[in-house]
Amino acid sequence: MSVGGLTSRDAGGLTLPHPPAAVSTAKPDEGSLELTEQLIRTRAYRFFEERGSEHGHDLEDWLRAKAEVFGRKPAPDAEVAAAEGGSVGAAARGA
């Protein structure tokens, strides 16, 4: 079927105005990666400021900001401690 120069395909009872787009396997361009990193950096700095500019939570802020940017839940304290080379107890004590 053709409507206004567009062809349609039958998709099990659904009529699509054009073939579905192929899934892209291209790597994101550098500008996109730089923009994402800048968003994470800016958000992490805001967490730092909201805490009263208290130092020592940079990795926690970065992981929390990254999770927020990518739409995931922040990492639990145990994961932050492991990433910093500490223990769960150290993370719970704020060490």
**What is the per-residue pLDDT across 40-79, written as a single tens digit (0 to 9) for each?**
999 999 999 999 999 999 999 999 999 999 987 765 665 5
- Provide the whole-model pTM: 0.48
Other beta carbons less than 10 A from residue 29's beta carbon? 9
- pLDDT for 30 equals 74
Answer yes or no: are the C-beta atoms of 74 and 63 closer than 8 Å: yes
Measure the CA–CA gap between 86 and 79, rounded to whole angstroms.
Answer: 10
pLDDT reported for residue 75: 59
Which residues, other chains included, contact 15 with Cβ-Cβ below 8 Å and sequence gap of 6+?
Answer: 1, 8, 9
Q: What is the predicted pLDDT for the residue at 50?
A: 96
